[in-house]
Structure 1
Amino acid sequence: MPKPLTAPLSTSPTTTTSPASTLPSTACFSDTLPLPKILVFDLDYTLWPLWVDTHVSPPLKPADAAGLTVQDRHGEKFGFYRDVAGLMVHAKEKGMMLGAASRTSAPDVAERALRLLTVPLGEAGEGPKGPTAWSLFDVLEIYPGDKKVHFERIRKKTGLPFEEMLFFDDERRNKNVESLGVTMRLVRDGVTVEEVEKGVGEWRGRNGRVKAEGGENGV
């Protein structure tokens, strides 16, 4: 069954991401240990607090001038979880690639949301409007099916080995990608700084990458 929404989309405090400038750099991004070459994110209940194929009635349109939220046909609004903007921006600054791997049955709705939602760099009124989330992803695999297929295609498109991939997802069944060599961090309430810290720690331990390597942070 679909996860219940804890509050109406239009009032939930978890559906607007904070500007990247307000999120301290994740500690694991600034230590001397290696980092994955790519961070891959599920979408539903990982980057935003709903399933776009069951909780959203298209078409979507912007809900605010800054692009922090979108609204569906009934006026229900949603956006990214709080830490998403900062995590995406800081990861790109460290030279990591970003990917999306979603098995949603409404890929067109998911794509529309990613094209509309922006990643704010500073507080409202500070500098230009942030880039769209869509533009920050290096690879997107959004369609129904076994996520091992998604990762096979990510490997083919990026040329990266599975062992260089760290995946964040809210569904335990998708742990099957670890049979390929991918490290998956299971998240419960959306991706956060803390979840990324734990995920990077798991990736380092799983791959024996616990010592400093050549190059900046091993990336």
Structure 2
Amino acid sequence: MAKSKKPAASTTPSSPSAAPAWLHDGLPLPRLIVLDLDYTLWPFYSDIHIAPPIRPVPNAHPPTLADRNGEHFALYPDAPHILRLLSSLPPARLRLAVASKSPVGDLCRDVLKQLRLPPPLGDAGGGADKGVKRAIDAFDAGLEIYEGSKIRHFEVLAKRTGIPYGQMLFFDDERPNLEVESLGVTMRLVRDGLTWEELEKGIEQWRVNQGVA
């Protein structure tokens, strides 16, 4: 059954009051976290629910876009803060990438360019405060957005970054994409988008797979 577009959250996106425990507990983190887009980073299908062109909604909190029909689109509530925190970590410690089967890659890039992220949570990530930034800027390891097997997406990411599959953690909402685990990637199957809880569980799952939990 096809998913319908979920309504935009009416509350302010949440962020932890302190740095998450997994950030400073002395245990390793994956070197690359990879995110799906539709129903993982945002609650809609990019190729079905958006009628471009899109534009920012003035003074919207959280940052929101509107399409030509006046429909509103935003990230899942926790996602902007998660992206901002993870992207504040030094690249030598952790990088971010996208792996999506969406057939409208240019539109997805436009969404990511126009959505803004909040300031980081103090200096929780141990990196410099780079100020408010575009969502697309968080993905320093690149965007793989095209139809086909997610295995292909990860082969390209591994070649580009030089990061071994075992050092990758992937968040996706579709069970068939668990096929990437045949490469050695750890995949966290999410139900209602990227949240702080899903992020923590994914990191725990990756650590168990690495034998360090």
TM-score range, shorter chain: 0.7 to 0.9
- 195, 198, 215: which one aligns with 2:198: 195
TM-score, structure 2 normalization: 0.86
- Other-structure match for 2:110: 112
Q: How far did residue 128 of structure 1 move?
A: 9.6
More helix by share: 1
What is the correspondence of 1:156-195 to structure 2 with a 5 Å cutoff?
156-195=159-198
Between the aligned partners of 2:199 and 2:14, the Cα distance in structure 1 is 17
* Equivalence for 1:91: 86
What residue is the counterpart of 1:59 in the other structure? 53
SS at structure 2 position matched to 1:68: coil
RMSD: 2.3
Q: Deviations over 1:4-51 (max 9, x none)?
A: 2343xxxx316x77376x664222122111100011100011111000
1:209 and 2:205 aligned: no
Unpaired runs of 5+ residues, structure 1, are 211-219
User: What is the CA-CA distance between 1:122 and the residue it aligns to?
Assistant: 6.9
Q: State the distance in 2 between where 1:55 and 1:116 align.
A: 17
The match for 2:38 is: 44
Of the two structures, which has the highest relative contact order with CA contacts closer than 8 Å and spacing of 6 or more?
Answer: 1
2:135 alignment partner, one of 130, 133, 136: 133
Cα displacement (A) at 1:71:
0.9
TM-score with structure 1 setting the length: 0.84
Query: Which range is displaced more, 63-72 or 81-90?
Result: 63-72
Q: Which residue of 2 is the match for residue 3 of structure 1?
A: 3
In the alignment, which of 69, 73, 77 is matched to residue 74 of structure 1?
69
Q: Is the CA contact 2:87–2:139 (under 8 Å) kept in the aligned structure 1?
A: no
Q: Is the Cα contact below 8 Å between 2:84 and 2:118 reproduced in 1?
A: no
Write the distance in 2 (CA, Å) between the matches of 1:54 and 1:150.
Answer: 22
Structure 2 unaligned runs (5+)? 122-128
Q: Does 1:27 align with 2:21?
A: yes
CA contact (8 A) 1:101 1:151 kept: yes
Q: Percent identity?
A: 44
3-state SS of 1:150 partner? helix
Give the aligned residue type for 1:137.
F
Residue in structure 1 matched with residue 126 of structure 2 by the alignment: none
CA positional deviation for 1:109: 1.0
Contact 2:85–2:120, Cα closer than 8 Å, also in 1:
no
* Contact 2:6 2:44 survives alignment (8 Å): no
Once the two structures are TM-superposed, the CA of residue 91 in structure 1 deviates from its matched residue by: 1.6
Deviation at 1:207, TM superposition (A): 1.6
